[in-house]
Structure 1
Amino acid sequence: MGKTNPTYRDQLRRLEEDWQPFRRALRVQYHDEFDQLFDDARQFADAAGIQNEMAVMEPFLISVMLAQECRIREIEDSAGND
């Protein structure tokens, strides 16, 4: 049997593990925000997996930016309702 390519979710899990030294070096006050980046990426994992990129970083970054855009729109919409 041939080798199976890791799924995007597997690659994302590995990326998060690889960045744990960076997380540990962050001040504790930033840990939640760091964790949120990976939560955001998991939120769009289905779409990122369809992209079928060899490198996980590009779909990870797009997912994080998309999540931030959603938050910005939510803030703008709520500010417009005041």
Structure 2
Amino acid sequence: MGKTNPTYRDTVRAFETEWSTYHRALRTQHQDQFQQLIHQVRNFADAGGMQNHPDPMTTHLISMLLAHECRLTELELQLENPRSDPAITD
């Protein structure tokens, strides 16, 4: 029988394991951001699994970029439509 390809979620776990030394070597203030990047890869795992790219790292990076794009769009919308702060009075 042929070898079964790992699932996308398996590649995400392998990615996290492979980069764990890098994560530990980061300064403490940057470790949370790195974990957030990994979390974003997991958030888009359904789409990543459907893509089934021969190099999962490409899909991991696209997921991270997409998460950043979503966050930028969210921040731009907040800047365009600031909520009124009840603590600020005219």
What TM-score, normalized by structure 2, do the two folds share?
A: 0.87
Larger radius of gyration: 2
The number of residue pairs the alignment matches comes to: 82
Quote the Cα distance in structure 2 between the aligned partners of 1:53 and 1:72. 26
Q: CA RMSD in A?
A: 0.9
- How far apart are 1:72 and its partner, in Å? 0.3
Which consecutive unaligned segments of at least 5 residues does structure 1 have? Answer: none
Runs (5+) with no aligned partner, structure 2 = 83-90
Higher helix residue share: 1
Separation (CA, whole Å) in 2 of partners of 1:44 and 1:2: 28
Aligned to 1:55: 55
Show CA shifts across 1:46-71 (max 9, x none).
11111111211100000000000000
Counting aligned pairs with the same residue, the percent is 51
Structure 2 counterpart SS, 1:53: coil
**Bigger RCO of structures 1 and 2 (CA < 8 A, at least 6 apart):** 1
The runs of at least 4 aligned residues of structure 1 exceeding 3 Å deviation read: none
TM-score by length of 1: 0.95
Q: Measure how far apart 1:2 and its partner are.
A: 3.0
> 2:37 corresponds to which residue?
37
Matches of residues 1-82 of structure 1 in structure 2 within 5 Å?
Answer: 1-82=1-82
Query: What letter corresponds to residue 27 of structure 1 in structure 2?
Result: R
User: Structure 2: which amino acid aligns with 1:14?
Assistant: A
